[in-house]
């Protein structure tokens, strides 16, 4: 059996899809270590992996999370973390490093140690047809001119990395798209845009959904059909009035309306109709298994989980890759999309009624449900990693990360 090290940035959307994969690898007898923010220790340890928490205060999530500030944060975090990470990895001597596609320090560590690496894409696979937010472009250049301090911080960190470590083959700018000879993408080929343009290094393994701990505090017995579910995720701080608008718009259409408020205090939404259930966090796969409709920000994990359950979507993008995800949902007929500013104008109820009563949306969602499940999920991801390990001889251990053009 092998030792496999996972390195990740400290965000739920990037960590959650890897957890069932880690649990499956442990079940198969592999030793797995996981390097990430300490707040995720408990849920990672539940998979059977050994957790190496990053030192407190070393991982900075940019505010605002624009492409330029994100690039600066990733590069400066790599400079701060690599001495600790490399010390841990040299002690454990992993046979394989699996890092997030935006985890620069994971890719650098693999180069330094001469260890085969795989990249984990928790959003779409990226190329010229599915552009990365940090790829070289006029938009990025224009954004950079308004944040000269972020640009200077990025350049200082990249120079420091170049001076101290082996960074050959890693992208100069595009830190959201760090590729390797094996790239795991946690969605199906059916949902990936321009899928025919990706080579065999990309494995579209589908949503990685495993068993999650039961939440005894969530009143499943109170759910009455049809269940309508609304959530804007955990990264973007949802406006109280926006969440309240969802609740009041959906209440007349549903038996139970479940609203996940994330960082917002549920009590701040009161008063609400009697059939509205608010919680900061809900057992999302369990709720989606009962839902007739999902109102979402369009985070990739949430959309993947909804499609896995065959639930039509009303997507209200808030930022990041969410507009692209929303467009893909609409293209495939599995839902509708709307702008945040239109929520207060009464559009939510109109669109939700269409999604509930026009059969074509449920039909398209059911088709995607089959594609998502047939992709293989976390077991397929574990299979791909094991096959990659079997073929990773000495030549693979010294090979650089896949090089690609910034202008691609």
pLDDT at 348: 94
pLDDT at 63: 60
293 pLDDT higher than 90: yes
Least confident range of 160-169, 229-238, 275-284? 229-238
399 pLDDT higher than 50: no
The model's pTM is: 0.89
Contact 226, 35 (CB under 8 A): no
Q: What number is the average pLDDT over the span 8-28?
A: 95
365 pLDDT higher than 60: yes
User: How would DSSP label each residue in 184-196?
Assistant: EESS-TTTSTTGG
102 pLDDT higher than 90: yes
Give residue 48's pLDDT band: very low, low, confident or very high (50, 70, 90): very high
Q: What percent of the chain has pLDDT over 70?
A: 93
6 pLDDT higher than 80: yes
pLDDT at 288: 96
- Long-range pairs, 152-156, Cβ under 8 A, ≥24: 153/72, 153/75, 153/76, 154/68, 154/71, 154/72, 154/75, 154/76
Residue 217 vs residue 359, higher pLDDT: 359
SS3 of 292, please? strand
Cα distance between residue 188 and residue 181, in whole Å: 19
Q: What number is the average pLDDT over the span 33-61?
A: 90
20 pLDDT higher than 50: yes
Residue 286 vs residue 135, higher pLDDT: 286
What is the tally of helices (H) and strands (E) in the chain? 15, 13
Give residue 236's pLDDT band: very low, low, confident or very high (50, 70, 90): low
pLDDT at 394: 47
pLDDT at 406: 33
pLDDT at 393: 55
pLDDT tens digit sequence for 176-197: 999 999 999 999 999 999 999 9
Contact 213, 46 (CB under 8 A): yes
Cα distance between residue 323 and residue 327, in whole Å: 6
Count CA atoms closer than 13 A to 260's CA, side-chain side: 23
pLDDT tens digit sequence for 111-147: 999 999 999 999 999 988 888 888 888 788 887 887 8
> If we measure between CA atoms, which residue out of 83, 17, 332 comes closest to residue 189?
332
- Domains in the chain, please, with CATH? 3-206+375-398 (3.40.50.2000), 220-373 (3.40.50.2000)
Residue 383 vs residue 270, higher pLDDT: 383
pLDDT at 234: 64
pLDDT at 403: 38
Helix or strand holding residue 118 (H, E): strand 117-121
Radius of gyration for the chain, computed over Cα atoms and rounded to the nearest angstrom: 21
Mean pLDDT for the chain? 90
333 pLDDT higher than 60: yes
45 pLDDT higher than 80: yes
pLDDT at 396: 43
251 pLDDT higher than 50: yes
pLDDT at 408: 33
């Amino acid at each position: 059996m092998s030792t496999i090290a996972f390195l990740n940035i400290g965000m739920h959307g990037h960590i959650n899809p890897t957890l069932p994969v880690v649990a499956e690898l442990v079940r198969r007898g592999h030793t797995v270590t996981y390097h990430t923010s300490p707040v995720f220790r408990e849920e990672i340890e539940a998979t059977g992996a050994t957790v190496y928490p990053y030192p407190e205060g070393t991982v900075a999530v940019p505010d605002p999370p624009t492409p330029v500030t994100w690039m600066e944060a990733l590069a400066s975090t790599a400079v701060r973390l690599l001495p600790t990470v490399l010390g841990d990895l040299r002690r454990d001597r992993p046979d394989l490093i699996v890092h997030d596609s935006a985890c620069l320090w994971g890719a650098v560590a693999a180069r330094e140690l001469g260890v085969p690496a795989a990249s984990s894409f928790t959003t779409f696979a990226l190329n010229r047809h599915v552009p990365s937010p940090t790829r070289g472009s006029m938009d990025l250049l224009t954004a950079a001119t308004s944040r000269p301090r972020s640009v200077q911080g990025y350049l200082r960190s990249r120079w420091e990395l170049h001076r101290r470590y082996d960074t050959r083959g890693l992208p100069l700018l595009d830190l959201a798209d760090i590729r390797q000879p094996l790239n795991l993408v946690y969605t199906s080929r059916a949902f990936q845009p321009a899928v025919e343009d990706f080579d065999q290094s990309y494995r579209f393994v589908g949503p990685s959904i495993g068993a999650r701990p039961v939440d005894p505090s969530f009143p499943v017995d109170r759910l009455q059909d049809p269940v309508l579910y609304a959530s804007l995720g955990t990264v973007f701080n949802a406006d109280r009035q926006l969440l309240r608008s969802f609740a009041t718009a959906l209440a007349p259409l549903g038996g139970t309306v479940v609203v996940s408020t994330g960082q917002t205090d549920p009590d701040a939404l009161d008063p609400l109709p009697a059939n509205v259930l608010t919680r900061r966090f809900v057992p999302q796969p369990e709720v989606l298994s009962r839902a007739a409709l999902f109102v979402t920000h369009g985070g990739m994990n949430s959309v993947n989980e909804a499609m896995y359950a065959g639930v039509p979507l009303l997507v209200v993008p808030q930022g990041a890759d969410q507009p692209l995800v929303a467009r893909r949902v609409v293209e495939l007929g599995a839902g509708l999309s709307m702008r945040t500013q239109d929520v207060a104008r009464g559009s939510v109820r109109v669109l939700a009624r269409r999604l509930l009563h026009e059969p074509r949306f449920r039909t398209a969602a059911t088709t995607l449900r089959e594609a998502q499940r047939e992709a293989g999920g976390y077991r397929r991801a574990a299979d791909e990693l094991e096959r990659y390990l079997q073929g990773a001889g000495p030549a693979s251990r010294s090979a650089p990360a896949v090089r690609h053009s910034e202008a691609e």
